[in-house]
Structure formats: C-alpha cells, structure tokens
Structure 1
C-alpha cells in the first residue's frame, strides 16, 4: 500500500511538472486510472496546486454523440475565447472512458469513432497551444495505442495511477426515488468482457482478475436491462472474491452491494435486504464506522427500506449517512447533496413536505455550485423539487423547475434518451394535474405551454 501511494505521488509530480513545462504549446499528456472517483480526486489535487500558481484550469467532456477531441476543444474555445490568450492554462479532457464499444446499428461504435478521429487529428490540433490531459482507463489506453498509433506516438507523457487499497470498495450510491440519475461511471461491451473472461478461464482459472471482470460484466448487463444475466455475473463475482479473498474482504462487500442493488431494481426486496446488511457489516468491521463507504452502504439500505415502505427504519440510516459525509467531505460536497436528496425523497414519501423542501433546496444549491448549472445531477435536483411542488399543489413554482431540468437533459443527452422522455412526461403530468385541480391559472400562458409541448412531442 505504501509503495502504491508513493508511486501515485511520483506520477502526480511528473504530471504537474509536465503541465507547467508545456504552457504556450500543445502537449498531449495521457493519464490512466481505472477508478473514476479516485481519478477525480487526482484532478482536484493538481488543479488546486496549479491555480495557486496562477494557472487557468479548464475541463471539457467528449460529446458522446459526436466523439471528437478536436470538436470538443473547438466548441470550448468558442465559449471561452480568453483561454487562448491565457499565459498559463491547461485543459483536462474527460468522457473518453464513458464511450461505449457497442455499435447499436451504427457502422462504428462511439469508442471506435473517437479512436478513428484521433488517428487523423494530430496536425489539426496544433492550433491549440496548451497542454491537454487526456484521462483514459487502462483498457481504452491499450486500444488507443493499437487503433491510433500515430496519435499515441505523439504523446508527451503517460502517467499511470493505481487506486489505493482504501478505494477498492466502490459500491454504487443509491439515487433519489423521484428520478434516477444517468450513470457516471463507464460501462463496457458485455460481449468483449465475456470474451476476456473466457480467455482468462482457459489460461488462469484462479486469476484474481476474474472477480473484477465478472463484476464489470454484471454492471454492463444491468445497464442493458439484462437482469437475469447480470444476476449470474454478480453471483460469479461474489463467489470468486469469497474464495480468493475471504468472506469479510471489502471487495466481497462490493459484490454483495451490487447484487443487492440489482435485486432492488428487480423489486426482489426480500433477497436484497440480507445482502445489504452483510455488506454494511463488512464495511463497518473492515473500514470503520465513519468511513465514507459506510455512508454509501447506509444510503443503499435506506433506499431499500424506503421502497418497502419501512420509513421509520430508513430515516436514521439517512441521518447517519449525512453526518458521515459532512464530516469527511464538508457540508458542500456533491455526496452530501445526494444524501440530502435521498432524505428529502423519504420525507416526500411520508407526506412530510415541509421537511423535504429545505433539503431539496440545499441539495440543488450544492449541485449548482459544485457541479454547474447544466449538470445532469442539477437537473435531477430541479426535477425532484418540482415533483415536490406538484405534490403540494404549487404548480406555478413547479413549472419553471421542470422546464429548466428538461432543458439541461436535452442539452447534455441525446434527444431519444430515456431521461429526456422522463422529463417530458413529468412536464405533461404537471399540466394535467393543474388542469384537473382547476389551477391552470398558476401556469404560464396557455399558448406558450402548448408550443413547448409541440416542440417536445418528439420525446414521447
């Protein structure tokens, strides 16, 4: 563990030095990490250090619909023209690790399009005279070297970060009951993962990598709503980890949590509960009662109780999760916003609207401040607060929040994405509820509302 930490610090120093030595000229710096949450911590660290020295630190995200590094940079520079005149600036490039390898009836998958464009992008990027830190997973970095060798050979440095032991346990934090958030961690092609598993089983059936591969396969299948297959994959991951690591290892808790989350999605609550409870017990024993992953486990078990209508059992779990995250991260961290959002959802389910409102408002304020006004998580908070206002009959206050949430989702996601359809459906239900309650006068001009519905009708 000490060796890993020391090597990560060494890589971070190399990365900071490479950035500082590249001001005013284009330099491609490839950073590799297989843990998105740890990756974000590294980015926050080097950006904080550089900003103290007067460096401008921008972040861009590859457009999942048109995955081109050059296009994403051009669009960002058009919006932030002062970037080109900044004497010291760096751009961190995210989103490449979220590109799917699935072709989905297209000639090339999003990942293949991205890699193909990079192979022919090198010279056209020279107009951007600043260092670029391109974040990839090990798997995608390997594909980049293979599919875009010219671009890869042009790199100014490769910086590999290995997740510390404390980051190995990564259960998914449960989301609000009002509107699920888009997944933020990347998923891979299930067929590709199954091929890797088959090859590894043939070569080394006792490999410690099998547990992780089965776990990734479960996530990929779950993301495609192939729940029966995901259940098998998660069980295989759990069995591998129990045999290789022991029954009380944090990775076993991770597998228990993921299987429980799947059962919760399938409404198999009775099977999910003992898995959540065992995962929580392992976390407390191995990581400590105040560890941030305890907050995640507490949230997930509370969400299950909420789904089962066991509100009295859910409330103290949410309260404990909020306390842990505020102590670990501070009161304005996005994880605290998620905790507050979940607690507000519980109060809404209980009809305690007056207690839910300030929690939703605080969650929204944190996400706007920390993530930005156009982030999908901000859209979730806007939607959930609007749902609360609709339940309270405050239709006029709900309407602009629904519209803001939908505008963010339409801007950041493909038009036919299911979250856009949910936003549109919520907006229509608001109008219907107001009409049924005889409160249509609370809404904006009727003709304008109909025009909005007409423009969005393609989302149905």
Structure 2
C-alpha cells in the first residue's frame, strides 16, 4: 500500500493545543473525549500528547533516575474493555512516587483502541458501554485526568447509550479528518496487534517526525457504526 504525507491542518493544530492546555491544568476528575475518525491523525496527536505531557514537573522528580510520567497511554483490552481496570492495573504496577513535598501526583491517562470494538461482538460493545455507565462508582477514587479517544460513531453511541459517563464529561474535542477504512489494515497491522502498549504501536507506526507529519492510507474510507443498545434493551438488562 502506498502512503502519502501531509501536514496537520491548522484547525486540527488549534484543537490539539486547546486539548493539551486543558489537560495540562491537571485538575481533579477531568474527563475529556477526543473524536477522530482518521486513525493515522489520531495516533500522531496521541503520541505528541504523550511526549509533551509525560515530562515530570520541576520539583516532582523521583529519587531514582526513572521518571514517573505525568501522562500515560493505555490500549483498551478488547476481550474485557474495562478502562477503569486498565488504569488500576497500571497503577498497581507503577505505584505513585511522592515529590519533594511528599505529595503523590497521579498521572493522566489516555485510552486508545475504542474503534476496534466495532469489529467485536455486540456483547463486548455492550460491556464497554456498561463500564462507562458505571463511572460514578469510580469517581470517589478518581483524582486524575482521563482522555478517551473515539471515532465519531462511538462518540454518538456514548452520548446516547452511556449518559452517566456523558454527563461527567469535562470537554469534547472533535478533530477533522477522513474516516480510516473499517478493516483498519495498516502496513504493520500484525506488528501493531502484537504490541503491548501504545508506545510500541507508535514505534511501529512512525520512525520520523510524528509530531508534525502523519501517514494516511490510500484506500477509500468506509465507516462501520458501532452497536448502540436501545432504551428498551437497557431496561431489559437492568
């Protein structure tokens, strides 16, 4: 498959800067949703966020040479799309380190891979929406920033089928771009599927200046809409 290179548009750059500034405020319980149908653009922007926000703050450097990040990228587990469990698992493996004042600042998290749920069963998609609806049970322990990357169809599905999560949103950022083909077959698709986290996927996807340029597929876009339960189905499930 041949690829072309293009600059991030000025409008997308402006939206990105607004998103980064909002996350950089590091306020409690910030819930952001970023909608982007172009997965190449999404990966470019998410990687840039990770690089620009992950640097530890001055005065918050750990005692050892391994820096504790301010911003972490996590890939959604498609077999059990529980974003809260994914975050808890990362925190268990990387317990917070206190800064010079003895205060442990939690990192922000961005969740990627929601678009892959489109090719999963309705039951898996339903479980993801159910996890989002359970947000209030996690808020008492949630003191950090969450950024959920989705496609526009999933944005609509979350708004209508996970109203509890939608009501707690701090902001929604919609990026311009053509939808990536539904099959989502990148050149390195097998490598990407085997990658354990987004950092590895970024390494596979781009060896160059990912902060300014991105690769886009030459295949014509085709979009599949995610499963969206009806109100009657929700009532039956309850």
Distance 1:123 1:171 in 2: 34
> Deviation of residue 102 (structure 1)?
4.6
How has the CA–CA distance of structure 1 residues 28 and 139 changed in structure 2, closer, same or farther, with 3 Å as cutoff? same
**1:334 partnered with 2:204:** yes
> Deviation of residue 30 (structure 1)?
0.4
**1:122 partnered with 2:122:** no
Distance 2:88 2:125 in 1: 20
Structure (1/2) with the larger helix percentage:
1
How has the CA–CA distance of structure 1 residues 147 and 76 changed in structure 2, closer, same or farther, with 3 Å as cutoff? same
In structure 2, list runs of 5 or more residues that go unmatched.
1-7, 58-68, 194-201, 208-238
Q: How many residues align?
A: 176
> Is the 1:56–1:86 contact (alpha carbons within 8 Å) kept by the matching residues of 2?
no
For residues 53-92 of structure 1, the aligned pairs below 5 Å read 54=57, 56-82=70-96, 86-87=104-105, 89-92=107-110
Out of 1, 7, 11, the residue aligned to residue 11 of structure 2 is 7
For residues 308-387 of structure 1, the aligned pairs below 5 Å read 333-335=203-205
For residues 132-281 of structure 1, the aligned pairs below 5 Å read 132-163=146-177, 172-174=185-187, 181=190
What SS is found at the alignment partner of 1:58? strand
> Is the 1:64–1:99 contact (alpha carbons within 8 Å) kept by the matching residues of 2?
yes
**1:100 partnered with 2:118:** yes
> Deviation of residue 131 (structure 1)?
0.5
> Is the 1:15–1:159 contact (alpha carbons within 8 Å) kept by the matching residues of 2?
yes
What SS is found at the alignment partner of 2:105? coil
> Deviation of residue 101 (structure 1)?
5.6
Distance 1:142 1:69 in 2: 19
TM-score using structure 1 length: 0.34
The corresponding residue for 1:21 is 25
Tell me which of the two structures has the higher relative contact order, counting C-alpha pairs closer than 8 angstroms and 6 or more residues apart.
2
The corresponding residue for 2:37 is 34
> Is the 2:96–2:106 contact (alpha carbons within 8 Å) kept by the matching residues of 1?
no
The runs of at least 4 aligned residues of structure 1 exceeding 4 Å deviation read: 83-86, 170-175
For residues 419-430 of structure 1, the aligned pairs below 5 Å read none
Distance 1:86 1:15 in 2: 24
> Is the 1:101–1:110 contact (alpha carbons within 8 Å) kept by the matching residues of 2?
no
Out of 26, 51, 54, the residue aligned to residue 51 of structure 1 is 54
RMSD: 3.3
Distance 1:137 1:10 in 2: 19
TM-score using structure 2 length: 0.63
How has the CA–CA distance of structure 1 residues 134 and 333 changed in structure 2, closer, same or farther, with 3 Å as cutoff? closer
Structure (1/2) with the larger strand percentage:
2
> Is the 2:106–2:143 contact (alpha carbons within 8 Å) kept by the matching residues of 1?
no
> Is the 1:58–1:92 contact (alpha carbons within 8 Å) kept by the matching residues of 2?
yes
How has the CA–CA distance of structure 1 residues 174 and 20 changed in structure 2, closer, same or farther, with 3 Å as cutoff? closer
Distance 2:184 2:160 in 1: 32
Larger Rg: 1
> Is the 2:96–2:105 contact (alpha carbons within 8 Å) kept by the matching residues of 1?
no
> Is the 1:77–1:83 contact (alpha carbons within 8 Å) kept by the matching residues of 2?
no
What SS is found at the alignment partner of 2:48? helix
**1:279-301: CA deviation from partner (whole Å, max 9, x where unpaired):** xxxxxxxxxxxxxxxxxxxxxxx
> Deviation of residue 335 (structure 1)?
4.9
In structure 1, list runs of 5 or more residues that go unmatched.
185-331, 338-460
Of 79-88 and 54-63, deviating more is 79-88
